[in-house]
Structure 1
Amino acid sequence: MKQVILSVIGLLLVLPGFAQTNTPFYYNDYWKLTTREDAVYFRTGALDTTHLVFAGAVKDYFRSGQLQMSGSYQAGLRHGPFVFYYANGQTKIKGNYDLGQRVGEWHYYYPEGSLKQRVEFTDNDFYVWEYYDSLGNTQVDNGTGTWQNSYYEPGNPSKIIVEGKFVNGKKDGKWKCSNEYGRLYYVETFKEGEFVKGKAVNAIGGRGGKYEQELNNKLLPPFKLSIAEQFIFAREDVQEEYPYLAKIVVSEEAGFNTVDVQPMYPGGMHQAYRLVTNHLVYPERARREGIQGKVFVQFVIDKDGSVTQAKTIKGIGGGCDREAERIVSLMKDWEPGYKDGEPVRVRMVLPITFQLTPNLESRY
């Protein structure tokens, strides 16, 4: 039996009105929910307990009480200014979201306060206009130069390094992704900002699979955001601390720890969200009987990016389960996940919320 790797993503359909709680959320160092006693970070802000998403302003803090992040959510999506801070109080990253998408100029800083890079996000891509190394040497000036980004993924002890060249703000030439020990994951080629080709590299340095869409791991948002938004529990007993999250069923094996590169929906998850809102049809029986709630659909992104094995693992009936499965099956042509430079099958769980708005109810 082929191995299937588990991951979790989340979307919602509509958020008209909701019940909420302002109880603090406590996180471990991987941003999984834990107890107050074991917390490394904590968050304040409103949770929409009907749809299980954050709503309005949120603030994250280090255990010391020092601010770690401020931002806000609209309909469960990051929206408006977000600012991240180092433990010493210096600004780390700042920029704006528009319904889940980074937009406009973002600024990144080193711990002592000097500018690291100035980046512009637009049309699901990014353009680097300024970049300085840790010694203050200019590496990218007015959009041209050599750029590098390094980061850690949860559960992966090796630092991931992405490097390549920008010309007039756009990616150009060969780009590569490797770990800090020199193990190569992939090589991509660009021309004037346009993706030309990509090749994954397998675990022993040999030729891996070729692919025709850029892998979007070069300048990811802080991993904490996605994990905190999924409400993953550090231990099973922690769930008792958060009774309003009782509807969430996510095993400890779920997460972002198991693949080198996560599957990517064309255009990003913002486009997946648009597909749901544009194509989901509220089942007649569910409307008639007032059935609302969240359907959890499990599915597999195969090695070729196709969606298979869509099935409801927790439903609400009234035709909603079948409709949620239909919508998931429409999400075609994913960029597959990669492990050790090879495409792999990745199992995902997608919660879709069905909520009747007053306008919908008044039509029937």
Structure 2
Amino acid sequence: MKKTILAILTIFIAGLSFGQKDSTSRDTLFEKASEGLVRFYYDDHYYLVDKDCDFKSIERLSQFIVAKNAFHGEFKDFDRNGTLILTGYYNQGVKEGVFKAYHPNKALKWEVTFAANRPIGDWKYYYPDGKPMLVVNFEDGSGKINAFWDRLGRERVVAGEGSYEFKMPFEYYNEYGYPFFERKGRIKNGLPYGYWTTNMVDEKNKKALFTEEVYNKLGVLTEGYNLFLDAQYTVPLTIVPSQPFLMSEKLLFKQCSFDDYSGFNAYLSEKLNSAFMTNPSFQHTEDEFAYRVAIDKNGEPETITLSEPLKTSTLNRYLERVLQDIPYYFPSLNQAGEPIADDLTVSGKLSISEAGVFNFHSMKIEREKQP
């Protein structure tokens, strides 16, 4: 994907027509701006999208070095209202100096200094009213929580010691149906310590216990248990705000569909990959598949049919069983924006490495009735 965008940029810089929707390039992901700058169009997860896409929410103005496939100089990101939301500096693709992000009300959201692409010193976060929220220190290279204030202004973590309770949104679709998760536990020497919990949180702030964890004195997870799946795990959810702007450097793009934007197609890939894992009996295969699923107006599947099977019948039998475990699809909408029953065609690709590692990717959903 990066090579594709680099090739387009090469043509653009060479002076050929760019940004026009023709038979070879339907999407305008970036185009020339004044003073030698390039304007890039992103969704709010920092994936490139067409400038006319409904999910476009960020525009970046920056110099760009095509030969290095890298941003250069000062850049500025603006939201859909034209409000500055992020500024910083790249030296031939390397983050250097002060980066600052802003809330929609133009108040400072966070600030940090980078050196050689790494944060140094304190990464300071602020609430929309300007009051301090969080300080993560990077003096030793890894982030440690040095201070934390709750919404009432009480300092709950002081000099890396105290109690921590922080709610964050899920960036993408999750099958649990909750838009937020809340991390809660003790901070010792700037790191999580002892018993921690994660709660799922709905729009009305109702909570459901999701995970229980135990961390050792080095901040390493030693026990993790998912109550929803009744399963253990070794990689915990983050305890500090994620930074989607880092994705902007990868120059990845998404099609202008809600299934792509929401992360649902990525969820389907992950669902299939986790089910198949690794099987050395199947090696170095490239294949494609498709299935049809009839959903009701609530997005619940009613029938699933493998319309374009994989070449290997053994894999098809298991694939059909896995597809039956996908509990939900986003419902289609009519012209009035109301959910309707529909027939979906879901297609994708399968690559199997020489070691037998499965990679389901390039998922795409076509809807029969949605205009």
Q: TM-score range by the shorter chain?
A: 0.5 to 0.7
Structure 2 CA distance for aligned equivalents of residues 97 and 306 of structure 1: 42
Structure 2 CA distance for aligned equivalents of residues 219 and 306 of structure 1: 36
Select the residue among 144, 153, 157 that pairs with 2:170: 153
Select the residue among 215, 222, 240 that pairs with 1:197: 222
**Cα shift at 1:312:** 10
Which residue identity lines up with residue 161 of structure 1 in the other structure? E
Structure 2 CA distance for aligned equivalents of residues 305 and 215 of structure 1: 22
Distance 1:209 1:190, change over 3 A: closer
Confirm or deny that 1:48 pairs with 2:60.
no
Question: Residue 121 of structure 2 aligns with which residue?
Answer: 104
- Give a deviation string over 1:27-49, Cα, whole Å, max 9, x none: 34444423158543211002233
Contact 1:60 1:70 in 2 (8 A): yes
Distance 1:304 1:194, change over 3 A: farther
Question: Residue 51 of structure 2 aligns with which residue?
Answer: 35
Select the residue among 19, 23, 26 that pairs with 2:38: 23
Give the TM-score of the pair, scaled to structure 1: 0.56
Between 1:302-311 and 1:158-167, the stretch displaced more is 302-311
Q: Secondary structure at the match of 1:226?
A: helix
Contact 1:154 1:257 in 2 (8 A): no
**Cα shift at 1:115:** 0.5
Contact 2:113 2:121 in 1 (8 A): yes
Distance 1:253 1:41, change over 3 A: closer
Distance 1:73 1:116, change over 3 A: same
Contact 1:189 1:197 in 2 (8 A): yes
Q: Secondary structure at the match of 1:233?
A: coil
Question: Residue 119 of structure 1 aligns with which residue?
Answer: 136
Structure 1 CA distance for aligned equivalents of residues 161 and 100 of structure 2: 26
**Cα shift at 1:189:** 1.8
Q: Which 5+ residue runs of structure 1 have no aligned equivalent?
A: 1-7, 12-17, 237-250, 263-299, 314-338, 350-364
Structure 1 CA distance for aligned equivalents of residues 286 and 95 of structure 2: 27
- Give a deviation string over 1:279-314, Cα, whole Å, max 9, x none: xxxxxxxxxxxxxxxxxxxxx78988999978999x
Confirm or deny that 1:171 pairs with 2:192.
yes
Question: Residue 320 of structure 1 aligns with which residue?
Answer: none
**Cα shift at 1:186:** 3.4
Distance 1:23 1:257, change over 3 A: same
Contact 1:27 1:41 in 2 (8 A): yes
**Cα shift at 1:164:** 1.6
- Give a deviation string over 1:94-117, Cα, whole Å, max 9, x none: 112344433321100000101111
Where do residues 317-332 of structure 1 align in structure 2 (5 Å cutoff)? none
Which residue identity lines up with residue 159 of structure 1 in the other structure? F
**Cα shift at 1:119:** 1.4
Question: Residue 221 of structure 1 aligns with which residue?
Answer: 242
Q: Secondary structure at the match of 1:194?
A: coil
Q: Secondary structure at the match of 1:148?
A: strand
Give the TM-score of the pair, scaled to structure 2: 0.55
Point out which structure has higher relative CO (alpha carbons under 8 A, 6+ apart). 1
Distance 1:346 1:171, change over 3 A: farther
- Give a deviation string over 1:74-130, Cα, whole Å, max 9, x none: 453434321100111110011123444333211000001011111112556322221
Contact 2:44 2:58 in 1 (8 A): yes
Confirm or deny that 1:209 pairs with 2:232.
yes
Which residue identity lines up with residue 144 of structure 1 in the other structure? E
Equivalent residues, number: 251
Contact 2:46 2:245 in 1 (8 A): yes
Contact 1:302 1:346 in 2 (8 A): no
Structure 1 CA distance for aligned equivalents of residues 155 and 279 of structure 2: 43
Structure 2 CA distance for aligned equivalents of residues 50 and 183 of structure 1: 50
Confirm or deny that 1:89 pairs with 2:110.
no
- Give a deviation string over 1:132-188, Cα, whole Å, max 9, x none: 111111211222111123222333361122222112323211123332153444333
Structure 2 CA distance for aligned equivalents of residues 232 and 52 of structure 1: 15
Which residue identity lines up with residue 110 of structure 2 in the other structure? I
Give me the identity figure in percent.
Answer: 20
Structure 2 CA distance for aligned equivalents of residues 46 and 311 of structure 1: 41
Between 1:102-111 and 1:161-170, the stretch displaced more is 161-170
Structure 2 CA distance for aligned equivalents of residues 301 and 49 of structure 1: 37
Q: Secondary structure at the match of 2:138?
A: strand
Select the residue among 84, 97, 101 that pairs with 1:67: 84
Q: Secondary structure at the match of 1:162?
A: strand
Distance 1:174 1:66, change over 3 A: same
Higher radius of gyration, 1 or 2: 2
Which residue identity lines up with residue 222 of structure 2 in the other structure? K
Structure 2 CA distance for aligned equivalents of residues 35 and 227 of structure 1: 15
Select the residue among 197, 205, 211 that pairs with 1:186: 211
Contact 1:26 1:36 in 2 (8 A): no
Question: Residue 233 of structure 1 aligns with which residue?
Answer: 254
Question: Residue 139 of structure 1 aligns with which residue?
Answer: 156
- Give a deviation string over 1:167-218, Cα, whole Å, max 9, x none: 23232111233321534443332232331513241535x2x1343xx53622
